[in-house]
Amino acid sequence: MARDQKLKLREVLEEIDMSRAAFYRMRARGQAPRLQKLPNGQLRVRRSDLDAWWARCEENAA
């Protein structure tokens, strides 16, 4: 099994077409994809977590 790709926050924001501020507001409400904080302070999102988040958004919109 291939390792799960880890996306930079900038890449995630581009994919979901959202500003950083809007993303952090959504995160504060517990509605954002799960983030991983690296020891250097940078943030990453696993591709599988982002895909699962997209699926939940589609379910909620239906």
Is pTM beyond 0.95 here? no
Domain boundaries, the chain: 6-61
pLDDT digits 0-9 by tens, 7-61: 999 999 999 999 999 999 999 999 999 999 999 999 999 999 999 999 998 888 8
Give the pLDDT of residue 20. 96
Residue 17 CB partners (closer than 8 Å, separation 6+): none
Phi, psi of 61 (to 5 degrees): -80, -20
Structure tokens at 37: 């904080």
- CA–CA distance from 43 to each of 33, 52, 58, 60 (Å)? 12, 18, 25, 26
